[in-house]
Amino acid sequence: MTRTTYGDNLVVTDRGGVVENTHEIHAAVTDADGRLLFYVGNPHRITLIRSAAKPMQALAVVETGGADQSSFDSVDLALMCASHSSEERHVQRARQMLDKVGATEDDLRCGGQPSITPQVTEGWWRDGVTPTAVYNCCSGKHAGMLAGAKALGAPLTDYHVQDHPIQQRVKRAVEEVANLAPDEIIWGIDGCNMPAPAYPLTALSQSYALFAKASSDLARDAATTERERWMGRIYDAMARHPEQVGGDGRFCTILMEAFEGRLIGKLGADACYAIGVKESEDTRRLGAKGALGLAVKVGDGSYSILYAVLAHLLEQLGIGSPGEREALRAFHELKMVNSMGVQTGTVNFQYKLHSVL
Amino acid sequence: MTRTTYGDNLVVTDRGGVVENTHEIHAAVTDADGRLLFYVGNPHRITLIRSAAKPMQALAVVETGGADQSSFDSVDLALMCASHSSEERHVQRARQMLDKVGATEDDLRCGGQPSITPQVTEGWWRDGVTPTAVYNCCSGKHAGMLAGAKALGAPLTDYHVQDHPIQQRVKRAVEEVANLAPDEIIWGIDGCNMPAPAYPLTALSQSYALFAKASSDLARDAATTERERWMGRIYDAMARHPEQVGGDGRFCTILMEAFEGRLIGKLGADACYAIGVKESEDTRRLGAKGALGLAVKVGDGSYSILYAVLAHLLEQLGIGSPGEREALRAFHELKMVNSMGVQTGTVNFQYKLHSVL
């Protein structure tokens, strides 16, 4: 575990002009061919992409035929890609997915946990709700895995273990979409107990650009493979149902709502993020052949810094209009106020966005 | 806001052997004369010490005569130095302090906020409690400031503003205990709306060593000044009532309980910490003339990393017995487990503790 220090990749918060905290940023901007266009820090940083892997995990499931066999619609597909806030609509939908699979909550191999959104957890405490596995922010993904396991004729138990047939499918899908050899990807165990891949941010960026490309190709009937059609449908599911992918007030949801289908974005735990942007004047201006991807990791895992950086990078790159980015203002400015509402400091984006071309 | 990169001052967490997060550590170990004995990263880092300033703030209050005039006992003194968990005992005690001052909750200039301990907040939500100012983790400090303002014959309103007489007293006490000139300390606004000083970790370490020295001197009737007697009483209040300084399960409380008076420790927000250790065989072996201080800042503000580092440094320095440090094991090992209780990774202390002598 060695490490290179870059030095020009910091976000610094201050209080009264004094440095309070420093955060290292790593980011890669590529196109769907994997060409690096811009970067911050180390764009090749091997990164545990955590829940940013969900579109690839969903792809492995739909390619088994499991989504069709379980009559999943696009809302179900979106929930498979979600780190949802465990709102009523998410929990209900996950239960419906289990019904459609012919499985029960007891088949889920994730545990219960507090909601990502404190107000939701607060509601459970008020109402005496104990969050079980179906409340887990990954319950849609897990329900999807059960559909995949069933379609493969594999046992529903232990669908989360690396050598289960559905996880072997996931492994191949992740490798192929990232365009990496098996030995270029390292696997850990995720917070929801499923295998979690680690690979360079450049490859994550490329993967998301490929989803964006697939959606454009699907729309103009130019998708060339079954895989590309499925990738387009997964992109479209996320873009059309952003409220399923995150929840009220969440960055993923607000970002995708603001851009109305022109991009998808997904959070991974410990402050990793990936965005896929459909081909547009913006992506061409930035040097992309077609669609564009952006992958970011905050070195220490700070979420508020991650969201500020994403909003800042979108502005620096000129992706979308000022009006579209306006929805992200609260994340971008990250007002540092105290218990009396007094502003105590600011966030300073001191990193350099390097242009490669 | 420039920054030097050290590189040998990291804590790294991994998942399945892959680096997940990296955290920069800065630490200074000094004696009461301010001699630097050991360090990690930049021991001179200008650091917003936040609530680690509370013993010095309490000192300014007691020196007005306000603590005696309000009949504060040692439990009250401990609460003045606390970032308490807003448990029933803390809130009740803060109310009693206000009564003794002849003030009310309306006089407090801190706002309400969730408890530092989620389970306490959970209880409020269950019971329909709305946390008002007296629930603020700093309510003891604020009640103390009211006692100080009253003793000075100053208005109770705006006791939190930098030019109020009690804050001017705080400013001088912080400067004098840190042995720094006014222009060597920069002031911001804290989370609870009071002035927050920033200065080098070395000076914070020295300040805490001075509190430890004062307690020893007081015990053997060798305190030479009124200030030293008060500093000894503040140390003793914290050491004897650790449950007031933090709360159930909190690092400060467990640390001070385990060391039974031989040290005090206090958290500052955004992962700053200071410890003062009374003269002992350990402090002499480490090269201290008498008492010893330790000040730590995690560059990105991560609390769990801070506590792990503190436990690790105490072990590396050999402060206390293995039995005393055993109480810190859960903080030290920082088990990284997921929602199913599976261990997903480890914490790796990659920093170098440099010896100066």
Check CB contact of B233 with chain A, cutoff 8 Å: no
Inter-chain residue contact A339 with B112, CB threshold 8 Å: yes
Cα separation values, A19 from A16, A173, B40, B105, B276, Å: 9, 43, 18, 33, 25
Question: What is the C-alpha to C-alpha distance for residues A34 and A288, in angstroms, rounded to an integer?
Answer: 10
Do residue B191 and residue A21 have CB atoms under 8 angstroms apart?
no
- Asked whether residue B3 carries a pLDDT value surpassing 80, the answer given is no
**Mean pLDDT in residue range A285-292:** 97
The answer to whether A16 contacts B345, with C-beta atoms less than 8 Å apart, is: no
Mean pLDDT of A167-173: 98
> What are A17's two structure tokens?
């002009």
Tell me the C-alpha distance between B217 and B202, whole Å: 22
Three-class secondary structure of residue B88 per DSSP: helix
Which of B339, B349, B350 is the best mutation test for A, with the most CBs of A within 10 A? Answer: B339
The strand pair at A195-200 and A46-48 is best described as: antiparallel
Percent above pLDDT 90 for chain B: 92
Return the pLDDT at B37. Answer: 98
Nearest to A5 among B5, B15, B16 (CB): B5
What sign results for the dihedral spanned by CA atoms B234, B240, B244, B246?
A: positive
Q: Is A196 on the interface with B (CB under 8 A)?
A: yes
Q: What is the DSSP string of B283-309?
A: HHHTT-SS-EEEEEEETT--HHHHHHH
Residues from chain B contacting residue A21 (CB–CB below 8 Å): 270, 299-301
* B3, B15, B136: residue with CB nearest A188: B15
Q: Among partner residues A111, A125, A186, which is closest to B339 by beta-carbon distance?
A: A111
Mutate which of A5, A13, A19 to disrupt the B interface (most B C-beta within 10 Å)?
Answer: A19
pLDDT digits (tens, 9 = 90+) for A10-22: 999 999 999 999 9
Where helices occur in chain B by DSSP H, the ranges are: 54-62, 66-69, 74-80, 88-101, 118-127, 139-151, 165-178, 201-219, 226-240, 242-245, 251-259, 281-285, 303-317, 322-326, 329-333
Q: Provide the shortest C-alpha distance from residue A47 to chain B (in Å).
A: 7
Q: What is the pLDDT of residue A15?
A: 94
Residue A350 contacts B, CB cutoff 8 Å: yes
Chain segment A186-209, per-residue pLDDT in tens: 999 999 999 999 999 999 999 999
In chain B, how long is the greatest CA-to-CA distance? 62
Q: Give me the pLDDT at residue B6, please.
A: 54
pLDDT category of residue B132 using cuts at 50, 70 and 90:
very high
A300/A306 Cα distance (integer angstroms): 10
- Strands B10-15 and B272-277 come out as unpaired
**B279-298 mean pLDDT:** 98
Confidence bin at B339 (pLDDT 50/70/90): confident
CA distance B324 to B320: 6
C-beta separation of A347 from B300 below 8 A: no
Which residues face B198 on adjacent strands? B48, B186
The gap from C-alpha A82 to its chain's centroid, in whole angstroms, comes to 8
Q: How many whole angstroms separate alpha carbon A58 and alpha carbon A52? A: 11
Quick check: A1 contacting B, CB < 8 Å?
Answer: yes
Alpha-carbon span A112 to A106, nearest angstrom: 12
- pLDDT above 80 for A2: no
Per residue in A106-150, pLDDT (tens digit) is 999 998 999 999 999 989 988 889 999 999 999 999 999 999 999
CA A69, CA A149: separation in Å to the nearest integer?
11
- Contact state of A48 with B15 under an 8 Å Cβ cutoff: yes
The mean-pLDDT minimum among A236-245, A337-346, B140-149 falls in A337-346
Are A202 and A295 spatial neighbours (Cβ–Cβ below 8 Å)? Answer: yes
Tell me the pLDDT of chain A averaged across its residues: 95
Quote the pLDDT of residue B2.
37
pLDDT greater than 70 at residue A5: no
- pTM summary value: 0.94
C-alpha–C-alpha distance, residues B81 and B41, integer Å: 28
The dihedral of CA A244, A249, A252, A255: what is its sign? positive
Classify burial at B134, counting beta carbons within 10 Å of its beta carbon; exposed 0-12, middle 13-18, buried 19 or more: buried
A188 touches chain B (CB under 8 A): yes
Q: A207: left (phi > 0), else alpha (psi -120 to 50), else beta?
A: alpha
Strands B343-349, B336-337: pairing is antiparallel
Instruction: Verify whether the Cβ–Cβ distance B188 to A16 is below 8 Å.
Output: yes
B311: confidence class by pLDDT, cuts 50, 70, 90: very high
Please indicate if any CB of chain A lies within 8 Å of the CB of B29. Answer: no
Which of A157, A158, A338 to probe the B interface (max B CBs under 10 A)? Answer: A338
